[in-house]
Chain A
């Protein structure tokens, strides 16, 4: 029997516990730890310099009304990232 959508979402989070995923797929409210910022050059450097280094704690706070950019809380600041940028950051969901 197919589960209602909200149960599936819960199962997914559970599945991702401790598993690497990228920032753009982090559910709203979820806390995670940064593993690595992929890509190269200026994009990557900018994210690193904002403190997105290995081990940093990050929380998804929401999104702009038109769906993008996505917002995250990092080191006490709320940052808006386009999903193309967020998908470059691998994180590990925190318990």
Chain B
């Protein structure tokens, strides 16, 4: 199948066009070995057959500051199996000169190009239609006017693409020879640079690309380019008082400004409606009010509206497990030795599958929100409004929506970092997101506060419990900001320029694009992260299940029975606590006890912490299990609260110190295998998740140690 690339500036309607051409079949995925995501779909051209259409992330320039940013260039220049047969460059009719700058870069590379000019309807409405024939003559390539939103011009685009694919040699002949002149001195620099570039890159476009990419002294663009040789040419030019990078850009814009003026007419103001709307939406008072309302809606949606759907997924898998479980029971009753298999299928596999799909409602909802905000133009304003605040953490305004989402759940939030244009910002945001207080921590905090914190403490004027809850949220937020500053400085220092934010015109969002965006990202999560989460969940289940005890009552010694009777406990639940105690997880809880003793925890809490690696809220159920109350105990369970408090006070530990230390530990520790699984996929590495796990664990231990030791001394 032939391959066609789609390139263009951000917000030129690439996703709308992609959607219109390839329908719902397009798939999100990463470029091999990078964190840069792309969309691939099948486009069927009339009288030609299907071609693969690849959406290259929106960019203003092909120049790269890091190997990660080379994807666009690599995709365009690829040879062999990965080679592109044609490149569609999408221009914006309302910003023709600016978007043509990217077209020049692609055309200079000598690849077969088809030009699609989007938003023709808006340009006409503004009274400045684009002269397509004149543009075509100038850029020596077929030009098609489209309005992707309304499907206008799409058959013509298919026709032009088909012709290029049928005779690529003719297309290349047409664009051979320079499109525009370079200043003489620059001309010889470009020739000298082209000579040291690898084969297939020996042309003006690639030489100009190398000039811009290696202009920065620290930039690296990959192993195949001899950066040293390119830099020595640049040094020589600078020694003569020239500025090769500036000259390349100026030469291109000078040509566009002179030649395209005839195509677009005189410069005009930005669409008046957007500017008038911005007067309100970026207003110091009204702007912040609207922003607060929109973000509250987004957060309420993630935090509580998704609850019924999450509950439905859980109920569905519980019902499925019950149904399959009773099937296995019938088989066991008929004498088949399938008890172990049944437990594996019901608790491990079906439970694990449920723990993957339980994330889906929040992911779909978040991406629906993001697509709606992005497509309407408001997402850019949200980033603009928050830039000043996030700058304190060394992050751009675009990090706000992912960070806010982290307070509901880190898994969709990490996926939402795809909206951050710069790889480095995206990485830093992903590294600190697990520190935000996700909703799974809430049941743990509720249990600990109710069980271990008194209503009031003498000499402390405020109600203790609400203050403890507010304090832990504040603590986590401050830590996340501090971590962003520290990691941003030492682990992922800023490379290249911060992205210049464009306040795109407001547009009515297209339902197709919005729904497609949410659906594709949800499916990608299930496809890519689902497997890792499933394996991790099954592994956690195995750890807390094996070795199995066929008859739990054999573990009940006379002493234990007498003790349980004295405390009024059910023998069944005491037996299941003993079963848990002798599993690998239970034994591990005892093994790690010396390590967690200084934090104020006993081995039971150790088992609870280990259990919470499946999902933090599992801590509550595991504690119910180890205290012999049963695994259906929730954070509101009075017996569980009493047992917890009793066991802490019994060996002379201060409950508040233990509670605060546990909360600090839960705030900072990386105890979510699903988050780690998503990080593996989104950073395309094992190294970063391992780093996150390590730094958060160390931080959690140290902070919990300091908390427990100082509080127990302070409170006596």
Contact = CB atoms under 8 A, between A and B. Distances in A.
Chain A partners chain B? yes
Interface of A: 37, 40-51, 53-57, 61-62, 64-69, 71, 73-82, 85
Contact of B95 (A37, A45, A56, A75): A75
A78 B94 CA distance: 12
Given A65-B283, A66-B389, A68-B387, A73 B254 contact: no
A69 B270 contact: no
Nearest to B213: A45
A70 to B, nearest CB: 10
B219 A42 contact: yes
A69 to B, nearest CB: 5
A1 to B, nearest CB: 33
B129 interface: no
Contact of A62 (B212, B254, B282, B498): B282
Contacts of B98: 50-51, 74-77
Which of A45, A46, A85 has the most C-beta atoms of chain B within 10 angstroms of its own C-beta?
A45
A69 B497 contact: no
Given A45-B63, A64-B387, A77-B502, A51 B97 contact: yes
B593 interface: no
A65 B282 contact: yes
Given A53-B253, A68-B387, A80-B500, A45 B245 contact: yes
A78 B389 CA distance: 21
Contacts of B267: 57, 75-76
Given A51-B253, A64-B385, A65-B288, A45 B500 contact: no
Given A64-B385, A77-B502, A42 B249 contact: no
Interface in B259-318: 267-270, 274-275, 278-279, 282-285, 287-288
Contacts of A61: 275, 278
Contacts of A55: 257
8 contacts: A42-B215, A42-B496, A45-B61, A48-B250, A51-B101, A62-B279, A62-B282, A71-B384
B249 A77 contact: no
Contacts of A50: 60, 98, 500
B447 to A, nearest CB: 39
B702 interface: no
A56 B275 CA distance: 21
A78 to B, nearest CB: 4
B294 to A, nearest CB: 14
Given A45-B245, A69-B384, A81 B269 contact: no
Contact of A41 (B215, B283, B287): B215
A75 B60 CA distance: 13
Contacts of A65: 282-285, 287-288, 385
A44 B250 CA distance: 13
B270 A68 contact: no
Given A45-B63, A76-B268, A56 B282 contact: no
A66 B381 CA distance: 13
A37 B215 CA distance: 15
Contact of A80 (B215, B246, B284, B501): B501
A85 B284 CA distance: 22
B2 interface: no
B497 A45 contact: yes
A89 B278 CA distance: 24
B391 interface: yes
Nearest to B279: A62
Interface residues on B, range: 35 or more
B646 interface: no
Contacts of B268: 76
A48 B218 CA distance: 19
Contact of A43 (B246, B497, B501): B497
Contacts of A74: 98
Contacts of B279: 62
B216 interface: yes
Given A73-B269, A75-B97, A46 B497 contact: yes
Interface of B: 60-61, 63, 65, 94-95, 97-98, 101, 212, 215-219, 245-246, 249-250, 253-254, 257, 267-270, 274-275, 278-279, 282-285, 287-288, 384-385, 387-389, 391, 495-503
B218 to A, nearest CB: 8
A75 B99 CA distance: 10
Nearest to A43: B497
Contacts of B389: 66
Given A45-B215, A49-B249, A50-B98, A77 B387 contact: no
B216 A42 contact: yes
A64 B215 CA distance: 31
Contacts of B270: 73, 76-78
A48 B387 contact: no
Contacts of B101: 49, 51
A69 B216 CA distance: 24
Contact of A64 (B94, B269, B285, B388): B388
A51 B246 CA distance: 11
B384 A80 contact: yes
Contact of B217 (A41, A51, A66, A75): A41
Contact of B391 (A46, A73, A82): A82
Contact of A82 (B217, B250, B253, B498): B498
A69 B501 contact: yes
A94 to B, nearest CB: 12
Contacts of A46: 60-61, 497, 499-500
Contacts of B497: 41-43, 45-46
Nearest to B65: A42
Contacts of A85: 498, 500
Q: Which 4 A-B pairs have the closest CB atoms?
A: A42-B497, A41-B216, A66-B388, A42-B496
A79 B503 contact: yes
Contacts of A43: 497-498
A61 B216 CA distance: 31
A55 B288 CA distance: 36
A85 B202 CA distance: 34
Given A55-B257, A76-B95, 20 more contacts: A42-B215, A42-B495, A44-B245, A45-B61, A46-B499, A49-B61, A51-B97, A54-B250, A56-B253, A61-B278, A62-B278, A64-B384, A65-B288, A69-B501, A75-B267, A78-B503, A80-B384, A80-B500, A80-B501, A85-B498
Nearest to A51: B98
A56 to B, nearest CB: 7
Which residue, B60, B249, B288, has most C-beta atoms of chain A within 10 A? B249
B367 to A, nearest CB: 24
Contacts of A42: 65, 215-216, 219, 495-497
Residue of B283, B284, B389 with most chain A CB atoms under a 10 A cut-off: B284
B243 to A, nearest CB: 9
A76 B253 CA distance: 15
Given A64-B388, A75-B98, A77-B98, A53 B254 contact: yes
Contact of A68 (B212, B253, B388, B500): B388
Contact of A67 (B212, B388, B500): B388
